[in-house]
Structure 1
């Protein structure tokens, strides 16, 4: 999985990348009520312009990405000086209020996540095969403090299309993965994308307390 992901970036096979911020982020993030200044975790962030949108709206961003190519492209397309340092197994780059941690999301632990108070997942869950998605949902829950909120964008493929990534992750699976640790609100389903049959779903998540409340 990790080797294939890095190969995609080296070869430029990144059709999942959007050249503008995601409309669902713009529509729904303000209603989450995340306090300005709250640091937002963006797992498997690629070079998403959504991170710049969050930063412009007063949120420090911590993105985690395995592919060095994605991080370097993001920094090259941005404005401002870049500072770099290492933290355990991660190479960390900072540009403005955006930190990019290059490494394996599953090696990022609660000690590094101390300042995080929100999250945004547009293409992390759907990039993972079924066997890894439960591990992802559990690990995300360990990093997000109770009461914190986030936005999740899922995707389903046309019936009979079982390819990926991106993988098809329907509403039933999203609820099964996240309801043990999060309160979920289904916000919308997008229209099928012409030519692909992909259809996005948008969810607001709130981290439950230690007893599930």
Structure 2
């Protein structure tokens, strides 16, 4: 899996990358009621401009990305100085209020995510093969506190297309996440010319509030 994504970034096969913030993020994030200055976890973040949008909306951002190529491309798109350091198997780059942790998302520990107050997944769940998605759903739930809110963008294909991005049906999203999150389906797009249909979900971490 690691080699697959490194190869895609090295070869520039990143058709999933949008040259602008995702419209669903702009449309729905302000309606979630996420507290001002809450740090937002962005798993498998790539070089998404959604992180800059969240930072401009007054949220510190913690992005986790496996491919150093993606991290370096993201940093190069801004003239803001970068601080670099190492921690527990991650190479960390801080640019303004955005931290990019280059390493394996599954190696991020609860203690390292102690300041997380919200989350945003536009391309993490759908980037993982079926055998790994259960592990991802469980690990995400471990990292965010009860009451934390987030947005998830999932995707289905019209027919049996290979991934990534992978087709994750609504029922699978609910099966994976409903044990630890309350889910609300906010939007379901019409299939595009490639047969891809995006779904936008509002998630709230279950559990007793402090």
Normalising to structure 2: TM-score of the pair?
0.98
Give distance in 1, aligned partners of 2:145 and 2:109.
13
User: SS of 2:26's equivalent?
Assistant: helix
CA apart distance, 1:162: 3.2
* Match of residue 44 from structure 2: 44
Give distance in 2, aligned partners of 1:114 and 1:127.
25
* Match of residue 177 from structure 1: 176
CA apart distance, 1:79: 2.8
Match of 1:204 among 199, 202, 205: 202
Q: Which runs of 4+ in 1 moved over 4 A?
A: none
1:1-41 CA distances to partner (integer Å, 9 max, x unpaired)?
A: 11111110011100000000000000000111001100000
CA apart distance, 1:190: 1.2
Give distance in 2, aligned partners of 1:21 and 1:36.
19
Normalising to structure 1: TM-score of the pair?
0.97
* Match of residue 82 from structure 2: 82
User: SS of 1:112's equivalent?
Assistant: helix
Unaligned runs of 5+ in 1: none
1:85-140 CA distances to partner (integer Å, 9 max, x unpaired)?
A: 00010000000000000000000010100000000000000000000000000000
Q: How does 1:8-47 map to 2 (within 5 A)?
A: 8-47=8-47
Q: How does 1:30-179 map to 2 (within 5 A)?
A: 30-159=30-159, 161-179=160-178
Unaligned runs of 5+ in 2: none
User: SS of 1:80's equivalent?
Assistant: coil
Task: Between 48-57 and 202-211, report the one with greater CA deviation.
Answer: 202-211
How many residue pairs get aligned? The number is 209
Let me know the Cα RMSD of the aligned residues.
Answer: 1.0
User: SS of 1:118's equivalent?
Assistant: strand
Give distance in 2, aligned partners of 1:17 and 1:193.
16
